[in-house]
Structure 1
Amino acid sequence: MDDEPTLAAIPLTGGNMEPVVRVGDTVRRVAGEWTPAVHALLAAVRAAGVDEVPEPLGLDDSGREIVGFIAGGMLVDAPARVQWSTTIVEQAGRLLRQVHEASVPLAHDPGRTWRSPSREPSEVVCHNDFAPYNLVVDGGRLVGAIDFDFASPGPRLRDLAYLAYRIAPFAEDAEGFDPEATSDGETPVDRVRRLVAAYGADYPVGEVLGAAAGFLDELAAFTDDRAAATGRADFVEHAAMYRRDAARLRSFE
Structure 2
Amino acid sequence: MRTRTLPAALLLCVPLALLPALPVAGAPPAMASTSAGTPTDTTPPQIDLDPCFGSEPCQREAAYVAGRLDDGDDLAVLGALLDGEPVAERVYDDGSGFEPHGPFTAPGQDTVEEVDYAMVVGVPEGEHQVTFYARDLEGNESSRTTTVIGADAPGRPQGLRAEARPRRGGFVLRWDGADPNGSHVHTYRIRHGREDRTTRGGVPESPATRLVWSGLEPGWHTFRVRATNGIGEGRASRVRAYLHRP
Shorter-chain TM range is: under 0.3
TM-score of the two chains, using structure 2 as the length reference: 0.19
Structure having the larger proportion of residues in helix: 1
Structure index of larger Rg: 2
* Structure with the higher strand share, 1 or 2: 2
- Using structure 1 for the length normalisation, give the TM-score: 0.19
